[in-house]
Structure 1
Amino acid sequence: MIVITLTKVPQSLRGDLTKWYQEVQTGVYVGNVSARIRDLLWERVIKGIGTGEATMVYSTNNELGYQIKTTRRQYQVVDFDGIPLMMRLNAETTPVKHGFSNASKFHKAKVMAHKVANKDHHSAVHPLVAIDIETTGLDVTKDRIISIAAVKHSGDGDPISFQQLIQIDQPVPHQITELTGILSEMLTEQGVSLESALASLRDFIQQFPVVGYNLHFDASFLSMAFRKLDQPDLSNQMVDLMPVVKKVNQFLDNYRLETVLAEYHIKNSDPHRALADAKATLSLALKLIENGDLTI
């Protein structure tokens, strides 16, 4: 059994806890999860508590059968012959950064070590290319690529962009036009053949590592296109950012690109447009590298 009490914390933190615990009274959450999930949720509490306070009591193998963790500045958890006691301090101690468990302290030290090791790493990052495509649907065997975009970060100067509309022999579905803004007429007038677009893409990305968000989708369509043209697939290192984000942000409401970009304070000027999505994906990759969460 686990009980967490919260006082004056952000509403977003309360929402996160209700995914795992039941709120039996305002600010009081009860649940029964594994020790690993319990510690991860406590870290989430520490991270998102703001100026509020929290206390957690959970079952463990000691004299009382439970352990206590708290962020309350007026109290300190002390161990008295194996028994956890809440000792009230005579005077409020100097405010400290929240984080009282050994696991939390270790996690923060690890994060700080990453940041120190990766100081100025953004400018020294190895070259990489972010790609994104738009298609007529989700079925790789039936639907077609209608737009390809890529943004190259070489480490010197501003990123370089590549974008190409692709001609197809069928109308663009209405729902795809609504989502992407791409009309059949645009493909006819401005598009090139799939063979030409793929050749230009290969020349653009060269042997740079390729990053994408939910990259499996883009890569599967590109692989199918190369196969149809009887050409070899790309041999570049392919890095999908979605599993990286899922590993370091385990409490997002969802992992759609727009949600993840908002979490990292990255603006996407034109969502569901290949070039804008590629630019945003590159910014996300660089942010993950800067934070020490991604190595390429």
Structure 2
Amino acid sequence: MQDSEWYEGPLASFDTETTGVDVERDRIVSAALLLQSAPGAPVERLTWLADPGVPIPDGARAVHGITDDQVRAHGRPPQQVIAEIAGALAAQARAGVPLVVMNAPYDLTLLDRELRRHHQSTLAARLAGAELLVVDPRVLDKHVDRYRRGRRTLTDLCAHYGVALEGAHDAGADAWAALQLVRVLGERHRTALGRFSPAELHLRQTVWHAAQARGLQDWFDRSGAHEQVDRSWPLRPAA
């Protein structure tokens, strides 16, 4: 029997800023991985800035504020950055540390596609048999508070749960806010979430996300929209 609940122990948190929202085509510009052994403990931060090799569109630049000039002057080759990020996540997987990723199918799928693009590899290959134990605050919140109205972006969830989000759309700031958010979620909904081990919670989220996606797809179908909702979590399969 575990001595403490998962949200009271070590957590890592991962976030990216990118050239856009298409996981198949867009590129990672910056990323952050934060590590904290327990609530209130010091935080270890790993950050990366990549020159993606393509212009950063105006829309993306307006969100995260990173310019072409910045990445050309201070960014590193994407091949190096992507390999280091994958290695850092693999280390957390081998250590069994839960990895917080807000809207995981976006960031993890984008990382997988970057590995395919630059290394002819995959995220699964880089994990080499280890499994990421992902904690997605968006999935957790939808599970414990299914019928609450309103959006569920990181900004919205932080406001709802009273978590400070300073410097939104900076990878480090977003990763830190997401990490704090899941600690609050776990504590506030410990009856629904706290009883699981990290591995059990990961498996539950695959089921919860699929049900949530099914419900959203039904809504789109009833409203006549042509949107298609992917039920895969935490990684979308390659086409």
TM > 0.5 fold call: yes
The one of 79, 89, 102 equivalent to 1:195 is 79
CA distance in 1, matches of 2:53, 2:85: 21
Percent identical pairs in the alignment equals: 26
Instruction: Identify which of 94, 100, 104 aligns with 1:215.
Output: 104
For the residue of structure 2 that corresponds to 1:275, the secondary structure is: helix
Residue 115 of structure 2 aligns with an amino acid whose one-letter code is F
The structure-2 alpha-carbon separation of the partners of 1:119 and 1:262, relative to structure 1 and needing over 3 Å to count, comes to farther
1:204: which partner in 2? 88
The unaligned stretches of length 5 or more in structure 2 are: 199-239
For residues 159 and 266 of structure 1, the distance between their equivalents in structure 2, rounded to whole angstroms, comes to 17
Could you say which residue in structure 1 is the equivalent of 2:120?
A: 230
Inter-CA distance 216–134: structure 2 relative to 1 (3 Å threshold):
same
For 1:127 and 1:195, how far apart are their aligned partners in 2?
Answer: 29
Pairing 1:281–2:178 present? yes
TM-score by length of 1: 0.55
Gaps of 5+ in 1: 1-117
Aligned-pair CA distance for 1:170: 1.8
Residue 240 (structure 1) aligned with residue 136 (structure 2)? yes
Write the distance in 1 (CA, Å) between the matches of 2:162 and 2:61.
28
Q: Does 1:134 align with 2:17?
A: yes
Offset of 1:274 from its aligned partner?
Answer: 1.0
Please identify the structure whose Cα radius of gyration is greater. Answer: 1
Matched, 1:145 2:17: no
Structure 1 residues 172-215: Cα deviation after superposition (integer angstroms, max 9, x where no partner): 11121111010011111111122222333244341232111111
Provide the residue aligned with 1:160 in structure 2: 44
Q: Give the SS at the match of 2:45.
A: strand
* Partner in structure 2 of residue 81 of structure 1: none
* Cα separation, 2, equivalents of 1:237 and 1:275: 20
Q: Distance in 1 between matches of 2:164 and 2:55?
A: 31
1:239-277 Cα offsets, whole Å, 9 max, x none, are: 322121012223141212111110110111111111111
* Aligned-residue RMSD, C-alpha: 2.4
Larger relative contact order (Cα-Cα within 8 Å, sequence gap ≥ 6): 2
Is contact 2:16-2:30 (8 Å) kept?
A: yes
Q: Do the aligned residues in 2 keep the contact of 1:216 with 1:240 (CA within 8 Å)? A: no
Give the secondary structure class of the aligned counterpart of 2:62. Answer: helix
Alpha-carbon distance change, 279 to 128 in structure 1, aligned in 2, over 3 angstroms: same
**Separation in structure 2 between the aligned mates of residue 252 and residue 151 of structure 1, nearest angstrom:** 31
Higher normalized helix content (fraction of residues): 2
- Amino acid corresponding to residue 143 of structure 1 in structure 2: D
Q: 1:126 to 1:260 in 2, by over 3 A?
A: same
